């Protein structure tokens, strides 16, 4: 059973970092040949279910040319019994450190995996891979979700507004050219043309040295 929905995880992630600086993020194509390990704690939903978090990370991988038709990269550890291997089911968070640990804001790698190899049962296993094209991620934080990572990728805007769209039942974000003077909710959400109903949860983030700070928020469940 999933401990928390993806939507709840976004809110919890923001609540944990209200008084902290969130790292800016980065994602670039690299060629990486060394063995890799699943990052411990990168997901608490290893089951093959419809809303598996790695599917959202897969979207980031497939946005880069050459990765949309990839397959699970792991060559050296065959699945035991029926599995989704060699399908490209999810984007798996990887590290070259056998411990599976990555420091906050450190470098990690995102590569195509099947559900079986992305399972926590394969933590601490060295994955060899003939395919080497993957994404190098920077700024990744504990408890990160795809949307909180994506909203902090390089941009010219001064800030970002992350909000819960009750109609779509999902978190969305919008880059803000300027946030100075954005003090009222009416002013904030007048910028979002497709928001059908007022939102009960949001966070406005401003660029600062070293990343982003939450400068206005309403995050608690009502």
108: β partners? 137
CA distance 64 to 165: 27
CA distance 182 to 185: 8
Q: In which residue ranges of the chain is pLDDT below 50?
A: 1-3, 44-52, 222
Q: What angle do CA 163, 164, 169 make, to 5 degrees?
A: 155
pLDDT of amino acid 187: 62
117: β partners? none
Cβ contacts of 94 within 8 Å, gap of 6 or more: 36, 37, 38, 39, 108, 109, 110, 111, 127, 134
Prediction pTM value: 0.84
CA distance 104 to 102: 6
pLDDT of amino acid 150: 94
pLDDT of amino acid 165: 85
What does DSSP say about strands 133-138 and 26-31: parallel, antiparallel, or unpaired? Answer: antiparallel
Q: Tell me the torsion sign for CA atoms 65, 142, 97, 139.
A: positive
The three-state secondary structure class of 122 is: helix
Between the CA of residue 51 and those of 90, 96, 173, 222, what are the distances in Å? 11, 27, 20, 24
pLDDT of amino acid 110: 96
pLDDT of amino acid 41: 66
pLDDT of amino acid 44: 44
pLDDT digits (tens, 9 = 90+) for 50-84: 344 566 799 999 999 889 899 999 999 999 889 99
């Amino acid at each position: 059973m999933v401990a928390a929905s993806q939507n709840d995880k976004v809110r919890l992630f923001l609540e944990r970092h209200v008084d902290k600086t969130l790292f800016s993020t980065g994602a670039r194509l690299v060629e990486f040949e060394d063995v890799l390990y699943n990052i411990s704690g990168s997901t608490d939903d290893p089951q093959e279910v419809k809303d598996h978090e790695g599917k959202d990370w897969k979207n980031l991988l497939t946005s880069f040319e050459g990765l949309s038709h990839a397959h699970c990269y792991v060559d050296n550890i065959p699945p035991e019994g029926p599995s989704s291997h060699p399908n490209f089911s999810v984007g798996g968070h990887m590290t070259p450190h056998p411990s599976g640990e990555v420091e906050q804001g450190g470098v990690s790698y995102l590569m195509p995996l099947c559900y079986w190899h992305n399972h926590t049962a394969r933590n601490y296993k060295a994955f060899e891979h003939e395919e080497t094209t993957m994404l190098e991620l920077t700024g990744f934080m504990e408890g990160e979700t795809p949307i909180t990572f994506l909203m902090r990728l390089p941009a010219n805007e001064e800030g970002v507004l992350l909000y819960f769209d009750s109609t779509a039942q999902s978190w969305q974000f919008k880059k803000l050219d300027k946030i100075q003077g954005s003090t009222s909710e009416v002013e904030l959400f007048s910028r979002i043309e497709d928001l059908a109903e007022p939102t009960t949860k949001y966070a406005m983030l401003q660029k600062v040295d070293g990343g982003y700070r939450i400068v206005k928020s309403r995050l608690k469940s009502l």
